[in-house]
């Protein structure tokens, strides 16, 4: 492989002749061969936009030669657009504070700008990675700013997928709004609930997650760029912060503001932790929803089977015809990974020392990975699971009639103790609840049907006081109740 020689404070080293990165990137590439995972596209885009904004600000302030500034701006635009992603070879696990990431971007943009000005790659007398591309910047303010911007870029598709899945559940709620099923608490039969209510609750849970994510975005919009090494702004023009943030707002399409305290913005990872927490909450809700879908789908002959999930693949290598809830299973695995990522972000967020948190590469990687995972998994759930979900109304009615939880509606009329005895008899004699009620003669059939209207039980309602008095004054009820007192 043909190389060119570059020199830094540690000495000389060969760099691939055709590479637009330089010696700093080459050293980091050799040092940190850990995961094989490279930076996300949105992170590279954010880094390049920072370089573009800084060059525009410094050129406007007269600190950067106009011709050189325009070359850096043009090169940064190409990098931001994805043309040179192959020139970013570094592992996401690398030196603290992300200095290799920052220098990788500086070197690529410098060499692109050099060629635009008629020079040859590696001739940093034309455009220098540190002196010109990195002017008025430090890895310590660039990398946290890049994480903020790339997170905001990445959250937009995620919010879209959350909205789609929530909308899908609302459609299912409308489709099955009148289908009543047995509610279940502690995995035991409970009072009735409508599928419309169940699916609407899933949609609302997702809406709440979107709201929390949007709240986290507010903190990410406050940028510490211009704070340089420790947040004090050394080596920057007094107007640089305002100008670079204004340019970033223009280039990235967000309404950024200068951080109120750039020293705090340099060492604090609280904004990233807030965003990660919102993803953790989303993952937790999705796990619960997927568990519900799998339980409701369970069977199909020996368990609940009140809903049917789409068949996406054969479920067994040994049992013919078996079909598993593969999509929810995958979704839960992904959510557990996101929960683990959040733990890593939390540990990294509290690991800052003095004026810097050097764990930003880990924070950025886990945060962006979690967003990507959740974006993809919600799309999968929508397309291959919820969209084709159907409710078996007949099965739901069968299980409802077999259950004993309907007796709860009798409490205001016959009291808890008598109702409990009715359930006991039904279980002991293996009889349906209505049969036991009619055989005990504590209610007339028409009154029983009115009280045990399953759909009416799925919403608040007033006790029929006349009926209550009628039941409690009847001789049959009094005798049945009296029989409970006998030893």
In tens, the pLDDT along 409-440 reads 999 999 999 999 999 999 999 999 899 999 99
Q: What is the reported pLDDT for 197?
A: 98
- 174 within 8 A of 196, measured Cβ to Cβ: yes
Residues 6+ apart with CB under 8 A from 315: 322, 323, 324, 326
375-392 pLDDT per residue, tens: 999 999 999 999 999 999
> Would you kindly state where each structural domain of the chain is located, as residue ranges?
14-135, 141-392, 404-483
Range scoring the smallest mean pLDDT among 176-185, 287-296, 317-326: 317-326
Residue indicated by tokens 């670079």: 244
Residue 375's nearest CA partner among 90, 144, 93, 151 is 151
How far does CA 260 lie from the centroid of its chain? 28
Report the length, in residues, of the chain: 487
**The pTM of the whole model exceeds 0.85:** yes
Mean pLDDT of the chain: 96
- Cα separation, 222 vs 225, in Å, equals 9
Q: Which residues are catalytic, by number?
A: 316
Residues forming beta bridges with residue 410, ordered by sequence position: none
Residue 263's nearest CA partner among 315, 239, 227 is 227
Mean pLDDT of 207-227: 97
Residues 6+ apart with CB under 8 A from 311: 323
In degrees and rounded to multiples of 5, residue 293 shows phi and psi of -60, -40
Give the architecture (CATH level 2) of 404-483: Orthogonal Bundle (1.10)
Residue 137: band (very low, low, confident or very high) from pLDDT cuts 50, 70, 90:
very high
Q: What angle do CA 169, 174, 180 make, to 5 degrees?
A: 100
Mean pLDDT of 270-291: 98
Q: 14-135, what's its fold?
A: Fumarase C; Chain B, domain 1 (1.10.275)
- Cα separation, 437 vs 425, in Å, equals 10
DSSP 133: I
- 276 within 8 A of 77, measured Cβ to Cβ: no
Residue indicated by tokens 């507010």: 218
Residues forming beta bridges with residue 222, ordered by sequence position: 257
35-56 pLDDT per residue, tens: 999 999 999 999 999 999 999 9
- Cα separation, 379 vs 376, in Å, equals 5
185-195 pLDDT per residue, tens: 999 999 999 99
Token pair for residue 102?
């920052």
Residues forming beta bridges with residue 185, ordered by sequence position: 188
Q: How far is CA 95 from CA 92, 172, 368, in A?
A: 9, 49, 18
Q: How far is CA 279 from CA 154, 206, 245, 362, 478, in A?
A: 12, 11, 27, 16, 57
Residue 164's nearest CA partner among 347, 385, 336 is 385
Q: Contacts for 194-199 with beta carbons within 8 Å, 24 or more apart?
A: 194/455, 194/458, 195/391, 195/396, 197/173, 197/458, 198/173, 198/292, 199/169, 199/170, 199/172, 199/173
- 256 within 8 A of 221, measured Cβ to Cβ: yes
Report the chain's terminal Cα–Cα distance, integer Å. 97
- Cα separation, 184 vs 179, in Å, equals 15
Q: What angle do CA 55, 56, 62 make, to 5 degrees?
A: 85
CATH class of 141-392: mainly alpha
- Cα separation, 245 vs 257, in Å, equals 7
- Cα separation, 315 vs 324, in Å, equals 5
User: What is the per-residue DSSP string for 327-394?
Assistant: HHHHHHHHHHHHHHHHHHHHHHHT--BTTB-TTHHHHHHHHHHHHHHHHHHHHHHIIIIITT-EE-HH
160-184 pLDDT per residue, tens: 999 999 999 999 999 999 999 999 9
User: Residue 487 pLDDT more than 70?
Assistant: no
- Cα separation, 204 vs 196, in Å, equals 12
330-379 pLDDT per residue, tens: 999 999 999 999 999 999 999 999 999 999 999 999 999 999 999 999 99
């Amino acid at each position: 492989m043909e190389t060119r020689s570059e020199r830094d404070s540690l000495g000389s080293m060969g760099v691939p002749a055709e590479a637009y990165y330089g010696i700093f990137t080459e050293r980091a590439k050799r040092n940190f061969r850990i995961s094989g995972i490279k930076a996300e596209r949105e992170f590279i885009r954010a880094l390049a936009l920072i370089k573009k904004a800084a060059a525009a600000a410094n050129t406007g302030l007269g600190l950067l030669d106009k011709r050189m500034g325009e070359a850096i701006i043009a090169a940064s635009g190409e990098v931001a657009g994805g043309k040179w992603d192959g020139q970013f070879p570094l592992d996401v696990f690398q030196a603290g504070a992300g200095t290799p990431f920052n220098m990788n971007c500086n070197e690529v943009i410098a060499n692109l700008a050099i060629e635009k000005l008629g020079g040859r790659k590696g001739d940093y007398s034309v455009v220098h990675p540190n002196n010109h591309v990195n002017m008025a910047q430090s890895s310590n303010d660039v990398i946290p700013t890049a994480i903020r911007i790339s997170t905001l870029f990445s959250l937009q598709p995620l919010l879209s997928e959350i909205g789609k899945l929530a909308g899908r559940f609302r459609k299912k709620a409308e489709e099955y709004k009148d289908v009543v099923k047995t509610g279940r608490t502690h995995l035991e039969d409970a009072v009735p609930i409508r599928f419309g209510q169940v699916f609407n609750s899933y949609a609302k849970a997702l809406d709440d997650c979107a709201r929390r994510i949007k709240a986290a975005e507010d903190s990410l919009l406050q940028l510490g760029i211009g704070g340089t090494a420790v947040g004090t702004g050394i080596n920057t023009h007094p107007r640089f912060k305002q100008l670079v943030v204004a340019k970033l707002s223009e280039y990235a399409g967000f309404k950024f503001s200068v951080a109120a305290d750039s020293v705090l913005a340099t060492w604090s990872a609280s904004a990233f932790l807030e965003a990660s927490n919102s993803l953790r909450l989303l993952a937790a809700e999705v796990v619960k929803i997927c568990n519900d879908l799998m339980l409701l789908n369970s069977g199909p002959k020996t368990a609940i089977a009140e809903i049917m999930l789409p068949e996406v693949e054969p479920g067994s290598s040994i049992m013919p015809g078996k079909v598993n809830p593969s999509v929810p299973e995958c979704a839960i695995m992904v959510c557990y990974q996101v929960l683990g990522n959040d733990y890593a972000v939390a540990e990294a967020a509290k690991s800052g020392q003095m004026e810097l948190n050097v764990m930003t590469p880990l924070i950025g990687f886990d945060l962006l990975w979690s967003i990507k995972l959740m974006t993809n998994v919600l799309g999968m759930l929508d397309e291959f699971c919820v969209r084709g979900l159907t409710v078996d109304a007949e099965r739901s009615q069968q299980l409802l009639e077999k259950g004993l939880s309907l007796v709860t509606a009798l409490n205001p009329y016959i009291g808890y103790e008598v109702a409990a005895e009715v359930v006991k008899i039904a279980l002991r004699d293996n009889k349906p609840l209505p049969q036991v009620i009619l055989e005990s003669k504590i209610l007339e059939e028409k009154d029983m049907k009115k009280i045990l209207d399953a759909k009416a039980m799925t919403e608040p309602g007033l006790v029929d006081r006349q009926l209550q008095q009628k039941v409690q004054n009847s001789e049959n009820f009094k005798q049945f109740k009296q029989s409970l007192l006998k030893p």
